[in-house]
């Protein structure tokens, strides 16, 4: 189905037609359950409040559109300097030549909900105690309630010898960047033709779409098989985590695929620097060793864990990496991040993992990549967070306690080759949460159906379902 037809179907379905007519059309497209049955939405509120949404991406625009409908008498402002709305999951498909760059973005002006004020500037500071936001040119905006959704910050410079500008030099690539994904496609084809050693890595911080670096690695491998040059390549994957994937239902098959495709996997390792002229990557591996320690006073012996780091250098012909990632600087500077625990070093926003309400400032909700919650940072997760954050924000505005609960749902369509996807859907407890009708099949393995979903269905659903706040 073309993008245009899909748009018409969705708009009719979600906006104007009655539900029965819509379900017929959607069933024909085989997407009925993915669209889901929308829960009955609360009636519009008469409240007159000022709400600022910082960041108009997957989370921010979905929230702004719904808030506009729910609060017709309130002032809703979106602050975001971006000219374009990118469908970032498409970056992997640009990097592997499945999509063209033009296919993954729409003009931000076309995505902005009607009736919302758009301040086209970047937030440079936030004063949560004073309920105010400062944007470029030092313009101050005040709010009663804040939706904090600026996504995350890519910290390229934390890899020595790397910057966003120099991405591509010395054949160092990253699909975490729009231009970077285009360079990757050119480089991938040249690498597959010439042969050599490919190093693929993720990073030591939490990062959006943990599957993306693995997908581009597997796609490179398959491209080489398709072009009959696989024998001339050595492929190695280095992960900062303690295992390749940590969702037990899906991990065994993914590990098996890496074995079958002869791609080595090294755990607890990340890139600390690159020498692009010499094509060398500097890596750090952290091992956890168990030691027996005897207490000199009690004489008791107990086992303790100690982390030991070693560094080493590897030569490559192509290097693909994910940069270290954190909350944007203004979030850290405003003191809105976690102050202790594993989410503190990168200042992920300190929200309650169930309600998405800030722990110190109850007039702030935060969701999407910036939120400090133990889920996988994906737009699939955002889709389930938006209705929860919306309901809780409406409760707070009306003076009630937030009651809606997010269960940590996230999904990562791990592309395993050109034609198959391992559709990982899971919750906070890493238990599978397979959506119907996929739940009728064995989703612990890659499938053709999930590939069709990934390549043809999810993008129009993003632009015409999620962004306008219908899906």
Ligand X SMILES: Cc1cc2nc3c(=O)[nH]c(=O)nc-3n(C[C@H](O)[C@H](O)[C@H](O)COP(=O)(O)OP(=O)(O)OC[C@H]3O[C@@H](n4cnc5c(N)ncnc54)[C@H](O)[C@@H]3O)c2cc1C
Compute the least distance from the CB of residue 228 to ligand X, in Å.
28
258: number of Cβ within 10 Å:
21
Please pick, from the candidates 26, 65, 209, 466, the single residue that binds ligand X as defined by CB under 6 A.
209
* Strand partners of residue 411: 425
Buried b (16+ CB within 10 A) or exposed e, 190-208: ebbeeebbbbbbbbbbbbb
From candidates 26, 52, 212, 397, binder to ligand X by CB under 6 A: 212
Our CB check for ligand X shows the closer of 202 and 221 to be 202
CA pair distance 464, 8, nearest whole angstrom: 9
Please, how many CA atoms are within 13 Å of residue 457, restricted to the half-sphere of its CB? 16
378 binds ligand X (CB under 6 A): yes
Q: Is 250 in the site for ligand X (CB under 6 A)?
A: no
| CA dist 131 → 125, 147, 321, 393, 436 (Å) | 11, 12, 38, 16, 42
CB of 462 to ligand X, least distance (A): 9
Q: Is 469 in the site for ligand X (CB under 6 A)?
A: no
Q: Which of 82, 98, 125, 404 binds ligand X (CB under 6 A)?
A: 82
**Binding of residue 380 to ligand X (CB under 6 A):** yes
Q: Does 133 participate in binding ligand X (rule CB under 6 A)? A: no
Q: For the residues of 334-383, what is the DSSP string, one character each?
A: TT-B-SSSTTTTTT-B-B-TTT-BBSS-TTEEE-GGGB-SSS---HHHHH
The Cα 146–Cα 124 span in angstroms is 15
Cβ distance to ligand X smaller for residue 47 or 82: 82
* Distance (Å, whole) CA 328 – CA 370: 8
Q: Give the interface segment with ligand X, choosing from 74-82, 307-315, 416-424, 463-471 (CB under 6 A).
A: 74-82
One residue of 113, 128, 150, 198 binding ligand X per CB under 6 A: 150
Q: Does 408 bind ligand X (CB under 6 A)?
A: no
> Would you say 230 or 332 has its CB closer to ligand X?
332
123 lines the binding site for ligand X (CB under 6 A)? yes
Task: For 221-264, give the DSSP string.
Answer: HHHHHHTT-GGGEEEEEE-SSSSS---TTTHHHHHHHHHHTTEE
**Among residues 32, 79, 192, 257, the one that binds ligand X under rule CB under 6 A:** 79
Tell me whether residue 12 or residue 186 sits nearer to ligand X (CB atom). Answer: 186
Q: Compute the least distance from the CB of residue 87 to ligand X, in Å.
A: 8
| Residue with nearest beta carbon to ligand X | 57
Find out whether 426 and 247 touch, Cβ atoms under 8 Å: yes
Residues in 93-112 that interact with ligand X by CB under 6 A: none
Cα–Cα distance for residue pair 286/363, rounded to 1 Å: 40
Q: Which of 240, 324, 413, 460 binds ligand X (CB under 6 A)?
A: 413
State which of positions 308-337 bind ligand X (CB under 6 A).
328, 330
Residue among 47 and 122 whose Cβ is closer to ligand X: 122
Binding mask 161-190 for ligand X (x = CB under 6 A): --------------xx--------------
Q: What residues have CB less than 8 Å from 79, skipping those under 6 apart?
A: 52, 53, 54, 55, 56, 119, 121, 122, 123, 133, 135, 141
Binding positions for ligand X, rule: CB under 6 A = 54-60, 79-82, 88-89, 91-92, 122-123, 149-151, 175-176, 208-209, 212, 328, 330, 368-369, 377-380, 382, 411-413
């Amino acid at each position: 189905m073309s993008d245009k037809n899909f748009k018409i179907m969705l708009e009719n379905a979600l906006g104007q037609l009655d539900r029965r007519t819509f379900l017929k059309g959607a069933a024909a497209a085989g997407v009925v359950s993915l669209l889901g049955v929308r829960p009955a939405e609360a009636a519009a509120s008469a409240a007159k409040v000022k709400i600022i949404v910082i960041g108009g991406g997957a989370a921010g625009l979905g929230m702004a559109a719904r808030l506009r409908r729910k609060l017709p008498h309130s002032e809703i402002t979106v602050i975001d300097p971006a000219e374009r709305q990118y469908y970032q999951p498409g970056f992997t498909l640009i990097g592997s030549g499945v999509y063209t760059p033009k296919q993954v973005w729409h003009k931000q002006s076309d995505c902005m909900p009607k009736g919302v004020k758009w301040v086209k500037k970047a937030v440079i500071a936030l004063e949560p105690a004073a309920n105010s936001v400062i944007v470029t040119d030092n313009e101050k905006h005040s709010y009663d309630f804040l939706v904090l959704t600026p996504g995350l910050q890519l910290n390229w410079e934390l890899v020595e010898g790397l910057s966003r500008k120099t991405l591509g030099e010395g054949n160092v690539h990253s699909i975490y960047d729009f231009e970077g994904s285009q360079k990757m496609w050119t480089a991938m084809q040249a690498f597959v033709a010439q042969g050599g050693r490919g190093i693929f890595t993720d990073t030591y911080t939490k990062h959006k779409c943990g599957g993306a670096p693995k997908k581009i690695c597997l796609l490179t491998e398959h491209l080489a098989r398709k072009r009959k040059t696989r024998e001339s390549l050595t492929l190695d994957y280095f992960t900062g985590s303690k295992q390749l994937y940590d969702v037990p239902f899906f991990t065994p098959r993914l590990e098996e695929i890496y074995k079958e495709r002869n791609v080595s996997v090294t755990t607890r390792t990340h890139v600390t620097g690159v020498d692009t002229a010499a094509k060398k990557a500097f890596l750090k591996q952290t091992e956890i060793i168990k030691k027996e320690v005897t207490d000199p006073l009690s004489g008791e012996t107990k086992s303790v864990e100690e982390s030991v780091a070693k560094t080493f250098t590897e030569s490559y012909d192509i290097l693909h990496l994910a940069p270290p990632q954190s909350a944007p600087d203004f979030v850290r500077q405003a003191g809105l991040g976690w102050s202790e625990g594993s989410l503190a070093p990168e200042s992920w926003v300190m929200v309650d993992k169930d309600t998405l309400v800030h722990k110190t400032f109850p007039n702030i909700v935060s969701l999407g990549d910036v939120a400090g919650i133990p889920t996988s940072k994906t737009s699939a997760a955002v889709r389930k967070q938006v209705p929860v954050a919306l309901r809780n924000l409406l409760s707070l505005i009306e003076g009630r306690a937030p009651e809606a609960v997010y269960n940590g749902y996230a999904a990562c369509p791990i592309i395993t080759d050109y034609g198959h996807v391992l559709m990982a859907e899971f919750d906070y407890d890493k238990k599978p949460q397979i959506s119907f009708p996929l739940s009728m099949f064995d989703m612990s393995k890659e499938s053709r159906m999930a590939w069709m979903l990934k390549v043809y269905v999810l993008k129009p659903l993003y632009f015409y379902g999620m962004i306008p706040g219908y899906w």
